[in-house]
Structure 1
Amino acid sequence: MEEIEIINQTLVELLSEDWYYEKGSPPPKPLSINATKIDSAKYIQYLSEYEISKTNKKIDTSRLIVILKDSLIAIPSRIKLGYIADIKYFKTNYSADTSFISLIKKLKSFTVGKPLNTSEIKNIGRFDIIKLTDLEHIKKPYGKIGYIRYSKVAFDSSHRRACVYFDFNHTTLFGYGTILFLEKSGTKWTIIGQFGQWVS
């Protein structure tokens, strides 16, 4: 199943290996107009420590749980794809060539999802991929990264190019959805472009 190939070859890239590390300290706040020499010295010290902490990240040893929707979804109704399928708009905003426009239209035409066997997703890095129904059976401690979904995939006739919707929710105020433009070289699918649909 080519959709499985695409998920296996894009999932870790889309989630980002930044999750493998503990969260560091936030950057120092800028000095106020009333800052003293002591405030400035503290700021410089804190900034130095912050820069060092960015290069000496600690590995997060907790279990990194990602919930994967167990079906390839149809595009959510709130996602409006019509304007990006406009050739003039597409040429102005994307480096991918205009042959992807027909794939965007095909993606938009999907109205029904398709079951996904999540046990076939093997290229998962340090993440543990589970279904939502399995979460209550997972023993703590663990770090819940978030909930991800892929749409059904729109392929061209050669099955060398594809278009798919992907979204990720860590919390209600931390997530995004995007359209991915993919190209296959040999057996490898590569994301050659994307168009963000929403961010929270």
Structure 2
Amino acid sequence: MCEPAGDILVFLTGEWEIEDACWNINKKINNLGDNVGPVQVVPLYSTLPLAMQLKVFEPGPASLRGGPPGRKIVVSTNIAETSLTIDAPESLMRALEVLNYLGALDDESNLTTLGDIMSEFPLDPQMSKMLVISSKHNCSNETATIAAMLSAPNCFLRPREAQKAADEAKTRFGHIDGDHLTLLNVYHA
């Protein structure tokens, strides 16, 4: 209400904090009634379905006949800022260490046979290695399913107005051994 006309971008740290902020902003706007122009509050985080993410690029609401200007408020994680705070050579060294630890690079930073196979997958190195070695543990089908579920948008939505019901629905798929097997249960269901 105190800012000049224009859209607002708010950076927060995580999905639940973003959803909570959006809910609180909408509640505050509804309580103010006609004292503010039309406002559209849009969350943005990586596990949000693509259609919801694309709302960020839609035009904001127009002002109502002579009333206060319309405004869009985007509440997002600040991924770009965190990537800029890490020095590039440091990031490169960390990446090489991870690839060496996974066996994709040897001690001279040359690609190993395993690393060559891993590079064929359009996935993070950890997930690529998981898929490659799964056949040695007779769990290739399950591993491929889990990799696919981890690569897709989050299948568990938790809207503010139905959090309890969403949590109850999620518990039906829960597995005592963790989230990966919970995702496997979702796929099989």
TM-score where L is the length of structure 1: 0.20
Greater relative contact order, per chain length (Cα 8 Å cut-off, separation 6+): 1
